[in-house]
A and B are shown apart, each in its own frame.
Chain A
Amino acid sequence: MGTATGIIRALNSGVRHIARKRFTLRYPEQKLKFVGDGYRYDPITGVGIAGLKGRHMLFHDHCTGCQLCSIACEGVAEAIGMVKVPETHKHNKKSIMPQIDYGKCVFCGLCVDACPFYALYMSNDYELSSFTKEGLIYTPAQLQVKPYVSQDAEIQITDRGATHG
């Protein structure tokens, strides 16, 4: 193949893309849809349930303050510390629950795998930016709140290329 033919072919290949739709996800307006409600784990079968590993969800009525999540995090990020909570539960004698520092968390989800009481899950919320370092530390009360997310963009493949809808 001659040089001129090769260059024309390369240019032509680029020109054909003018007619194609944009693939880029327009992030703040569009958000990617994930499978499920976030990463979960079933301690009975020992297998996780697929989902995004985002901000944690803590269920106060399940947490016994056993510290297994904190121990699991020790070798990874040391992001989980156990703190006193004001409310008292029968199953949580010491009244301690995990507090997570998202400045340190690597979102590996090993704490979720460590929880034997279905108390700690991960949610689809990944927008955790804050102006201060203290703002990244989530107390048990904050972790209890179910995040509101609206994520609906998905990769769509058409004859004119792939788009994010």
Chain B
Amino acid sequence: MSAQLPPGLQLEKTDERIMTLNVGPQHPGSGHMRIIVQIDGDYIVACDPDPGYVHRGEEKMAEYRNYITNIPHLERPVIHDSCNILYPYVLGVEDLLGIETPERAKYVRVIASELNRCVYTLYWLAIYGIFLGHSTMFMWPTGDRELFIDLLEKMTGARVTHAYMVPGGVRNDLPANFEDVCLRQVDYFEKRIAEYADVFYDNPILISRTENTGVLSRTDAIRLGVTGSVLRASGIDYDIRKREPYDVYDSLDFETNVLRAGDAYARSKIPWLDMMESCRIIRDALSKMPKSGSVRVKLKPNPKGGMESVYRRVESGRGALGCHIVSRKKPEPYRVKLSVGSFRNLIALPYLLKGERLGNMPSVYWSLNYWPVEADR
């Protein structure tokens, strides 16, 4: 049987034994994308990921809106990591307009960004659990995610799409006694996250399904240009928060987690270890934050940039997230280009799935920390 595919997607067919299988785009195991796999019995011979089903034209939309009204729609690709996807845009606009952000706002942004990273990672972990048939690992992170959503709701006024960061700081200051509530919930979460090891990460069933599955070697990781947790799971210590510290990350105490194995197990473990570091960062930022001061610089209405372009990048839940803004002396940006971690990690999928069993496809695919909507933008 041969599926009618567009010319670019037609995989070479070498043998009568090989069958082409479409996984997605409505399949729960693929999200809003299609993975075209060729299988020989139960083994994957070739694979072609086919993203683009949820393309929204975010970059084009950004050219018709001014620097402030871009904020609510630019966070739409990843609504559960909305602070992190706005972060490079906001940093870039600040460079363009020459705004000096208040010190307190920088700390508040870091806290919001780390809380949001936990929200994203817990959601990702819940889906990873249910992909592997582990219902408990779907329920626990979904419940614990509520702790962080609650904190973000107190902080920003919205549960998912916060529209909190703006060029020149953040929209509003932290509410009263936020620090106490935040510390209490983060402390509880740290105890809670340790329990995930017993039920999930040390679980022999998970280990047997993910260890030595979809191994990405160190050299391949560099060659393919993957980022974020996928890169760190292959033994390369690369975290933009450490390498190119933005805002106040250089003054905070945290470490990057690196594992050598490069398999699906290592890739699934790195975000979990990163959440513990996020808790450390939040605690450290709360203690070092100036207790008072402004959190937002008042901008002129419809601010204009010069004839220049900036590129800023941050470490998001899925890896490096860059934003290139070109300004042509108008209130609207001339061009906004988002360079997202999801799309960079997807390139590794055909290499990782070759020779794997079809049943291992979800565990390898989701371990790449891929979010279809962000990749399509």
Q: Give residues in A with beta carbon < 8 Å to B.
A: 1-3, 6-7, 9-10, 12-14, 23-25, 32, 34-36, 38-39, 41, 45-53, 72, 74-77, 106-110, 113, 122, 155, 157, 162
> How many residue pairs, one in A and one in B, have C-beta atoms under 8 Å apart?
112
Q: With A7-B204, A10-B198, A107-B158 known to touch, is A34 a contact of B172 (CB < 8 Å)?
A: no
Whether the Cβ atoms of A32 and B203 lie closer than 8 Å is no
Inside 8 A of B173's CB, which chain A residues have their CB?
Answer: 47-50
> In whole angstroms, what is the CA distance A34 to B225 when docked?
43
**Residue in B closest to A25 when the chains form the complex, CB atoms:** B146
Whether the Cβ atoms of B150 and A155 lie closer than 8 Å is yes
Inside 8 A of A122's CB, which chain B residues have their CB?
Answer: 157
Whether the Cβ atoms of B161 and A108 lie closer than 8 Å is yes
Q: With A7-B204, A14-B199, A47-B173 known to touch, is A32 a contact of B150 (CB < 8 Å)?
A: yes
Which secondary structure dominates where chain A touches chain B?
Answer: loop
Inside 8 A of A41's CB, which chain B residues have their CB?
Answer: 172
**Residue in B closest to A46 when the chains form the complex, CB atoms:** B298
Whether the Cβ atoms of A24 and B143 lie closer than 8 Å is yes
Inside 8 A of A52's CB, which chain B residues have their CB?
Answer: 153, 157-158
Name 14 A/B residue pairs within 8 A (Cβ), A-sorted: A6-B203, A23-B143, A23-B146, A32-B150, A32-B153, A35-B154, A48-B296, A49-B172, A50-B155, A50-B175, A52-B157, A75-B66, A107-B161, A157-B188
* Stretch binding the partner chain, chosen from B67-75, B123-131, B253-261, B307-315: B67-75
Whether the Cβ atoms of B71 and A108 lie closer than 8 Å is yes
Whether the Cβ atoms of B136 and A14 lie closer than 8 Å is yes
**Residue in A closest to B198 when the chains form the complex, CB atoms:** A13
Inside 8 A of B54's CB, which chain A residues have their CB?
Answer: none
Whether the Cβ atoms of A9 and B198 lie closer than 8 Å is yes
- A interface footprint on B169-194 (CB within 8 Å = 1, 0 otherwise): 00111111000000011001000000
**Residue in A closest to B73 when the chains form the complex, CB atoms:** A76
- A interface footprint on B55-97 (CB within 8 Å = 1, 0 otherwise): 0000000001110111111000000000000000000000000
Inside 8 A of B198's CB, which chain A residues have their CB?
Answer: 9-10, 12-13
Whether the Cβ atoms of B188 and A45 lie closer than 8 Å is no
**Residue in A closest to B154 when the chains form the complex, CB atoms:** A35
Q: With A39-B157, A39-B172, A162-B188 known to touch, is A10 a contact of B203 (CB < 8 Å)?
A: yes
Whether the Cβ atoms of A155 and B203 lie closer than 8 Å is no
Whether the Cβ atoms of B69 and A74 lie closer than 8 Å is yes
Whether the Cβ atoms of A13 and B195 lie closer than 8 Å is yes
Inside 8 A of B15's CB, which chain A residues have their CB?
Answer: none
Inside 8 A of A107's CB, which chain B residues have their CB?
Answer: 158, 161
Inside 8 A of A45's CB, which chain B residues have their CB?
Answer: 294, 298
Q: Give residues in B with beta carbon < 8 Å to A.
A: 64-66, 68-73, 136, 143, 146-147, 150, 153-158, 161, 163, 171-176, 184-185, 188, 195, 198-200, 202-205, 207, 294-298
> In whole angstroms, what is the CA distance A107 to B155 when docked?
15
B330 CB to closest chain A CB (Å) equals 14
Q: B136, B163, B184, B207: which contacts A110 (Cβ < 8 A)? A: B163
Q: With A23-B143, A110-B163, A157-B184 known to touch, is A7 a contact of B205 (CB < 8 Å)?
A: yes
Whether the Cβ atoms of A46 and B154 lie closer than 8 Å is no
Q: With A23-B146, A50-B155, A155-B146 known to touch, is A109 a contact of B171 (CB < 8 Å)?
A: yes
Inside 8 A of B157's CB, which chain A residues have their CB?
Answer: 38-39, 50-53, 109, 122
Whether the Cβ atoms of B296 and A75 lie closer than 8 Å is no
> In whole angstroms, what is the CA distance A109 to B156 when docked?
10
Whether the Cβ atoms of B154 and A162 lie closer than 8 Å is no
Whether the Cβ atoms of A75 and B65 lie closer than 8 Å is yes
Inside 8 A of B184's CB, which chain A residues have their CB?
Answer: 157
Inside 8 A of A38's CB, which chain B residues have their CB?
Answer: 157
Whether the Cβ atoms of A108 and B185 lie closer than 8 Å is no
Q: A35, A47, A49, A108: which contacts B72 (Cβ < 8 A)? A: A108
**Residue in A closest to B72 when the chains form the complex, CB atoms:** A108
A111 CB to closest chain B CB (Å) equals 11
A165 CB to closest chain B CB (Å) equals 13
Q: With A13-B198, A32-B150 known to touch, is A110 a contact of B69 (CB < 8 Å)?
A: yes
Q: A52-B158, A157-B185 are in contact. List 9 more A-B contacts (CB 8 A).
A: A7-B204, A10-B198, A23-B143, A39-B172, A50-B154, A108-B163, A110-B69, A155-B185, A162-B185
> In whole angstroms, what is the CA distance A131 to B200 when docked?
44
Q: B150, B154, B155, B202: which contacts A1 (Cβ < 8 A)? A: B202
